[in-house]
């Protein structure tokens, strides 16, 4: 029996999961259980009934069967770092459109950062986001501001925000410049416990910069953002984390020195984790030479030496997570001159494909090595148990097509914004679909 409905390929909404569904002949990779083999999955009423090799389907079976030969099934993915803009900039993204973009990129959960307008600094805003996300396939996890209005001056009611459902604390994309404030936030993180997600940047050194400080910035005659501005703040935050015992997560690291500092801190037992974005793995500041505002990101695209260090740090496990830093902006804002355009690119829908292209097909990693960076470690950072591909567990699954070759165009994107430097890129590997909360969605390419 074949899968009889081309459901969810209308790309406009999530579809109900059939009451009975069998996923046939997929390579199942679940790092937590040590699974990497071909299996058939039977799902009933949104729960995994069995995971078997060469399962026999009864002739009177009335459900749906989907042949997934050549595909990979993993536990559902979590993106640790996305800016979903609602409330405040619904023209750029909403909770619903962000959830669709996340599902289209293979994610079944996403952390929405605190830089909304108003900021996520009250229980009411957290509840608003939870209400807006109710009923969606993708779980939306609010990240609460560390300081009121994200101004870095006065702590929010952190305990109340966590009690209301905040999954982490962060003022990103603002750095917390005052060391005493950062110390107190880390102390709270140790008590709860909950991670503090930081943008490591000494803003006094980067305020007049637009790209990485180096040969390219000099050639273009534009103010640079030195790598030491990131390294200095990482060094400070690591020392504060070591002193307080707080849980530090350093987001979107971009320098070779950052990898070295984090490695050394982990060896000393500091409670630190880190993530890297696909665009920092794929691009260098050379991409800025054409003044494409979609290459303007913060932290900026760095040197080739930095890029290679990030890949090696990921391979060695120094970097724990690949996160999108999904930052939608309107076409009008990104269409301005380079120095006036906002920082950021959309990344939820290209994270897998860019990472697969760069890490698997260029750097020689196996897709198996990427799965923990998307499906396991993000949950561990938040102190949560990752989903499992196991009988009796809710069906929370990401399905990949690692051998697919395709070219990204705007029509492939479900985000309300399309500010990405990867339009026209030939990709290898793509999401195929997701299953969660009794719903399913298949990516259309």
Question: Omega before 173 cis (within 30°)?
Answer: yes
Query: Mean pLDDT throughout 128-150?
Result: 98
Q: What is the pTM of this model?
A: 0.96
Q: What does the longest C-alpha to C-alpha distance in the chain come to?
A: 72
pLDDT band (50, 70, 90) for residue 445: low
Q: What is the CATH number of domain 15-73+390-442?
A: 2.30.40.10
Catalytic residue among 115, 171, 231, 325: 325
Residues 319, 71 contacting (CB under 8 angstroms): no
**For residue 147, what is the DSSP state?**
B
Tokens of 357: 């292209």
Count how many Cα atoms sit within 13 Å of the Cα of residue 296 in the half-sphere of its side chain: 24
Domain assignments of the chain as residue spans, ordered by start = 15-73+390-442, 77-381
Give the span between the Cα atoms of 387 and 375, in whole angstroms.
Answer: 8
* % of residues, the chain, pLDDT over 90: 94
Residue 30 bears catalytic tag: no
**For residue 56, what is the DSSP state?**
P
Give the span between the Cα atoms of 400 and 380, in whole angstroms.
Answer: 22
pLDDT at 282 > cutoff 60: yes
pLDDT band (50, 70, 90) for residue 55: confident
Q: Residues 372-420: pLDDT tens digits?
A: 999 999 999 999 999 999 999 999 999 999 999 999 999 999 999 999 9
Q: What is the CATH number of domain 77-381?
A: 3.20.20.140
């Amino acid at each position: 029996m074949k899968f009889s409905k081309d459901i969810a390929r209308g790309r406009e909404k999530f579809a109900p999961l059939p009451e009975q569904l069998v996923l046939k002949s997929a390579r199942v990779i679940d790092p937590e259980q040590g699974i990497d083999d071909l299996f058939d999955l039977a799902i009933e009423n949104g729960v995994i009934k069995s995971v078997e090799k060469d399962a026999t389907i009864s002739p009177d079976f009335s459900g749906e069967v989907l042949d997934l030969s050549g595909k990979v099934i993993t536990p559902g993915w979590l993106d640790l770092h996305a800016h979903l803009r609602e409330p405040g900039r619904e023209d750029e993204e909403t909770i619903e459109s962000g959830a669709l973009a996340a599902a289209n990129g293979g994610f079944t959960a996403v952390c929405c950062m605190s830089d909304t307008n108003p900021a996520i600094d009250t229980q009411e805003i957290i509840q608003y986001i939870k209400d807006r996300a109710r009923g969606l396939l993708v779980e939306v996890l609010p990240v609460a501001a560390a300081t009121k209005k994200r101004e870095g001056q006065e702590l929010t009611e952190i305990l109340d925000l966590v009690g209301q459902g905040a999954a982490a604390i962060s003022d990103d994309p603002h750095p917390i410049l005052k060391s005493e404030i950062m110390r107190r936030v880390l102390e709270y993180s140790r008590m709860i416990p909950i991670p503090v997600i930081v943008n490591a940047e000494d803003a006094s050194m980067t305020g007049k910069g637009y790209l990485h400080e180096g040969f390219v910035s000099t050639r273009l005659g534009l103010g640079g953002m030195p790598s030491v501005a990131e390294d200095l703040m990482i060094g400070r935050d690591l020392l504060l984390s070591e002193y307080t015992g707080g849980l530090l997560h350093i987001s979107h690291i971009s320098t070779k020195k950052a990898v070295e500092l984090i490695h050394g801190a982990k060896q000393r037992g500091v409670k630190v984790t880190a993530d890297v974005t696909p665009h920092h793995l794929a691009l260098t500041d050379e991409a800025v030479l054409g003044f494409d505002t979609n290459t303007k990101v913060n932290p900026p695209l760095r040197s080739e030496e930095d890029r290679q260090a990030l890949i090696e740090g990921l391979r060695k496990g120094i970097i724990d997570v690949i996160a999108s830093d999904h930052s939608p902006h309107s076409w009008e804002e990104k269409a301005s001159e380079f120095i006036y355009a906002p920082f950021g690119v959309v990344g939820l829908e290209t994270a897998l494909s860019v990472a697969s292209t760069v890490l698997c097909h260029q750097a020689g990693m196996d897709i198996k090595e990427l799965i923990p960076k998307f499906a396991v470690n993000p949950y561990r950072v938040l102190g949560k148990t990752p989903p499992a591909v196991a009988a009796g567990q809710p069906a929370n699954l990401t399905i990949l097509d690692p051998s697919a070759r395709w070219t990204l165009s705007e029509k492939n994107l479900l985000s309300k914004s399309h500010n990405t430097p990867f339009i026209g890129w030939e990709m290898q590997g793509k999401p195929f679909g997701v299953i969660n909360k009794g719903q399913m969605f298949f990516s259309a390419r």
